[in-house]
Amino acid sequence: MPDFLDPIALLGYFGTWALVGLLVVVFVESGVLFPVLPGDSLLFVAGMLAAGTAAAAQDGSVQANFQLWQLLVFIPIAAILGGQVGYWIGRNIGTAMFKPNARFLKQRYLDEAHLFFEQRGPFAIVIARFVPIVRTLAPITAGAAKMNYAVFTLYNAVGAAIWGIGLTLLGYWLGRFEIIQKLLEPIVIVIVVLSVLPMLIEWYKRRKVARQAGGATEAEPTT
C-alpha cells in the first residue's frame, strides 16, 4: 500500500515527532478536507507501540516515544477538534470545493457521506468515525446542513472518544500477544479492508437500486 496509508511507514517518517505527527493525522482526517489517511490502523499500531511490543518498535524502524495515557488523552481531543473544524468548514464555506474529477475532494465522496448522514440521523456522526472518508466528510456535511451545533458537538465528542480510545486500547491489548506482533502487516491490511467495507456495501446497495429503477423504467413503455 502507499506509504501515506501505511501506519508503520507514516510513524517512521515522523521519527521523534511520532506523537505530534499522529495527532496531526487524526485532526486532519477528522474533518479537515483530506479524507484518505490511515486513521483506524494508525490508532491500532500506536496502541501496540505504546505497549512496547510491536515488531516495528523492536526492529527500530519506529520510535515509540509516547505512552498509553498520552494516546488516550490527546487522540480524542485531536479527533474532536478536527470534527469541529470540519463542521465550521461546511457551515461557512459549504461544499462547493468538491468536484467530480478532483483528486481528493471528489463529489462522490460527499454524496456517500450525505446519504450516510440522511439514513442514520445525528448518530451517523458517531458511526462515521469508523468509516474512512465518511469520517472526514460527515462533519462537513453536518455543517453544510446546519445541524444544531450543540447536538453535533455532543455526538462528535462521543464518537471521537469511542473511536480514539477503543482502537488504541485494542492495539495495546492485542500487541501483548506474540502472534499479533508477527502478523502486524497482514493485520493492518485487514483493518483497512474492514474499515472500508461499510462504504462498499452502501455503494453496492445504491448500484443495485439504480439498476432496478432503470429496469423498471425500460419496462414501463412496453407495458
pLDDT in tens, 2-34: 555 667 777 778 878 888 989 999 999 898 876
Kindly state the cell numbers that stand for 153: 458537538
Section 121-125 average pLDDT = 82
Number of residues written out for the chain: 223
CA gap 67, 197 in Å, rounded: 31
Q: Are 35 and 86 in contact (CB under 8 A)?
A: no
Section 77-106 average pLDDT = 82
CA gap 122, 114 in Å, rounded: 12
What b/e sequence results for 53-65 when a residue is b if at least 16 CB atoms lie within 10 Å of its CB, and e otherwise? bbbbbeeeebbbe
Residue 193 pLDDT class (50, 70, 90 cuts): low
Q: Which of residues 51 and 22 earns the better pLDDT score?
A: 22
Please give the pLDDT value at position 58: 45
**Biggest CA-to-CA distance, the chain:** 70
